[in-house]
Structure 1
């Protein structure tokens, strides 16, 4: 094609003799690449989303599937002033960390980002990603690996002995393609569903259950959801499988409030799914990318399934948040317990407490734990879980932590340790102000986003805390995500 140029040398230039298209921004003329052009790029790193960071004559291209140290041939798919994106065509010089993906649909599915990278290399990169964010955004000095330089200690990432089949929950979008129902994960940067028979990150029981739900839906003539037309009935299949008990919950998310031939669905799934204890229907009639709607009802069985972290049992309802990797959750919470430094005499505040997982894990080692959560259903679950385990030294309050905790403090509440486990957007700024006002000697921060973590640590450091150590935990192998536990101490007198 006339608008492509391929060269065998480094830093190939733009196609010669090609005039800018009408309306093209003038800055494009200064770039060393053009849209749809084919070039060779040197890959110098990975982005926080796991894309290769390539360079062509100094211009940055983000390349899905490329690894640091590689030389690759790419086709430019998007251009901006400072960077662009490109599709990987061929690896010319491969990294020693490159491996063959185990999943047969990895190249099309958007669920994983790093199956082409060895597991040891993933663990190393995830630690370095945390270090980079702490230094760049948090302006923190990280201690050298040899221990000669003072600073924040960032430990090697805690990995898994078996990094497959670790997820206890799967949410599978259901749609229609060529007149038939399909279910799988979305293609990368798309809402096109890639039909999936199995996912190597999910428990085998979840795979089998999703397959059976799809088969029943086809047999009973249930239509998949079309988000463009906002038509079709079955939007998602959600399966929760408890590793400790073997129990399974199935949630059918509908674009409507009625499941045709409901009794037949119940009978077929009870027969087909070993360990099934709950079949729920969730109603989501909105034009939204959110999985769940506001209304959930039980079609058969219990409202909850039971699982355990260590010796602590949890009742988990259809919409409850619960960590998806049970093996690494124990490692995560054990680290939080160690950083909390509990002796049995401390009063602990657990902000963003959810269904009480961290609160109840810490309670046997503290004098008392006070959990705060915004979602009323989660607070109800937390209280039920405390009762389930016979734990009496915990209390839970519903509301925003930045509003609840000042009032609690005015009523005489003491605080020796604050634990925060916020969503990806990090802590609310008012909560950080509240922590400064409470002045606990220790803060434990559990994070799923190194960027917002680094931002919040900077605020806490400026308010009199010192970040002591960071433990990255690989909760999501083969993806670009990493969880961290951080221990902070108050240094201001």
Structure 2
């Protein structure tokens, strides 16, 4: 810490959940501060036009402030908004989306959709937690998330956003790894929970000894988990014990769909919100029998199969060969192979020619990673489908792409809203509906 001032008045929140204030003509971003508050703060980074700071004391508290549930909040880098009341978190995320759409894209949605939300605690069914052997300094191995702005691992006892039965394993996992012969060579544990199995993937840099294997098997039996191991890249992920455990899967009951997946394949961390998001996406897209619909950045078929379930023919496009193979298998598993087809393509290199080669589409769903889908939208070249549903995990790239769709491709932004996929974090998941001007639903 390098500086402090008596107090600052907080005007709003930024995209990372930090309070924004103006002091002597400079913008100050203050971690832990909320709109409407007056706080004292301490600066840890100075730039010519702004400063980064942490809150020291609340002089005047916001009515939206609540006591964080997690004892590690403020140290752990996993959550940034536990001090903000849950409905206010959703309102703040909706404001981020609307502000980005206007300030970046110069567009406004004709309708603001109600926020999609669910249980705010114990929701996270996927996580990657770090491991650090601190035996010499603290007498134990630390298992947890990184501290804020640090590579240090938090000395955690529990995590309130993990399901309770997984949170309860944090300290036992540290004790387990502390007994392994390779405890200094286990940097990470990946958590992947399914309907019928809890998987823990150990990243190991050296082989397990026979004694290590015995310890892992005993832990798995006692805590009802399945261990997988990973020695290098994703191709080296293999089940270790027990080998007869059920396969990982999640379900979309509304569509009668079961989605098998491997523990390192991408799935949403919040299955309840994912179900609600799929329901909204299908409602906005309104697929009909006989329509030909594109699902771009389709992954393992999270939206592809519900669209096909409604009777449309769906072409899923994905850059990862492994995910394409998984999507094909999932379509067959759910009896939807005849209504689906998949192509492997790098959509970040899309051109008018490569997109046209996929054929005509009546409608399109786009679910890109954080970088967005600018090249895809440019490649539409005025020949896009009459309706596009865009799922986004980054409101700023959604806003950029919305500008391309509205100002260059002739679409209208009919509706937009947020889904609280990651409660207590500043992450903004959103969904938007675009229609060609003049099209009547």
**Pairwise same-fold verdict (TM > 0.5):** yes
Label 1:131 to 1:421 Cα distance change in 2 as closer, same or farther (>3 A).
same
**Deviation by residue 1:56-106 (Cα, 9 ceiling, x = unmatched):** 233211110000000111122221111101221110000000111000110
Match of 1:134 in 2: 101
The answer to whether the aligner puts 1:207 opposite 2:207 as a matched pair is no
Q: 2 CA distance for matches of 1:394 and 1:482?
A: 30
Contact residue 369 and residue 395 of structure 1 kept, 8 A: yes
Question: Across the two proteins, how many residue pairs are aligned to each other?
Answer: 428
Contact residue 329 and residue 475 of structure 1 kept, 8 A: yes
Equivalences for residues 86-97 of structure 1 within 5 A: 86-97=53-64
The answer to whether the aligner puts 1:478 opposite 2:430 as a matched pair is no
Equivalences for residues 297-376 of structure 1 within 5 A: 297-300=238-241, 301=243, 304-310=247-253, 311-376=256-321
Contact residue 156 and residue 170 of structure 2 kept, 8 A: no
Q: 2 CA distance for matches of 1:303 and 1:378?
A: 20
Match of 2:121 in 1: 164
Contact residue 165 and residue 202 of structure 1 kept, 8 A: yes
Q: 1 CA distance for matches of 2:42 and 2:22?
A: 13
Q: 2 CA distance for matches of 1:64 and 1:255?
A: 36
- Give the 3-state SS of the residue equivalent to 1:432 in structure 2: helix
Q: 1 CA distance for matches of 2:415 and 2:276?
A: 16
**Deviation by residue 1:306-339 (Cα, 9 ceiling, x = unmatched):** 2212221011102210011111111111111011
Match of 1:251 in 2: 201
The answer to whether the aligner puts 1:187 opposite 2:132 as a matched pair is no
The answer to whether the aligner puts 1:36 opposite 2:3 as a matched pair is yes
Contact residue 405 and residue 434 of structure 1 kept, 8 A: yes
Match of 1:287 in 2: none
Equivalences for residues 440-459 of structure 1 within 5 A: 440-459=385-404
CA shift for structure 1 position 215: 2.1
CA shift for structure 1 position 208: 3.4
Q: 2 CA distance for matches of 1:308 and 1:248?
A: 15
Q: 2 CA distance for matches of 1:425 and 1:471?
A: 19
Larger radius of gyration: 1
TM-score (norm 2): 0.91
Q: 1 CA distance for matches of 2:124 and 2:414?
A: 31
CA shift for structure 1 position 405: 8.7
Q: 2 CA distance for matches of 1:155 and 1:367?
A: 25
Q: 2 CA distance for matches of 1:473 and 1:185?
A: 24
CA shift for structure 1 position 222: 3.3
The answer to whether the aligner puts 1:281 opposite 2:226 as a matched pair is no
Q: 2 CA distance for matches of 1:317 and 1:299?
A: 13
**Deviation by residue 1:210-257 (Cα, 9 ceiling, x = unmatched):** 44432221123432xxxxxxxx31011112112xx231112101234x
Label 1:183 to 1:405 Cα distance change in 2 as closer, same or farther (>3 A).
farther
Q: 1 CA distance for matches of 2:176 and 2:424?
A: 31
Contact residue 126 and residue 157 of structure 1 kept, 8 A: no
Q: 1 CA distance for matches of 2:51 and 2:39?
A: 15
Contact residue 137 and residue 454 of structure 1 kept, 8 A: yes
Contact residue 212 and residue 272 of structure 1 kept, 8 A: no
Instruction: List gaps (5 residues or longer) in structure 1.
Output: 5-34, 143-151, 224-231, 285-291
Match of 1:435 in 2: 380
- Alignment equivalent of 1:108, drawn from 57, 75, 82: 75
The answer to whether the aligner puts 1:269 opposite 2:207 as a matched pair is no
Equivalences for residues 401-440 of structure 1 within 5 A: 401=347, 403=350, 406-407=353-354, 409-410=356-357, 413-427=359-373, 429-436=374-381, 438-440=383-385
RCO comparison, higher one (Cα < 8 Å, 6+): 2
The answer to whether the aligner puts 1:237 opposite 2:197 as a matched pair is no
**Deviation by residue 1:418-457 (Cα, 9 ceiling, x = unmatched):** 1111111111x32112334542111110001100100011
Q: 2 CA distance for matches of 1:464 and 1:358?
A: 25
TM-score (norm 1): 0.82
Q: 2 CA distance for matches of 1:357 and 1:210?
A: 30
CA shift for structure 1 position 120: 1.3
CA shift for structure 1 position 167: 1.0
Contact residue 372 and residue 404 of structure 1 kept, 8 A: no
Q: 2 CA distance for matches of 1:383 and 1:438?
A: 28
Contact residue 112 and residue 479 of structure 1 kept, 8 A: yes
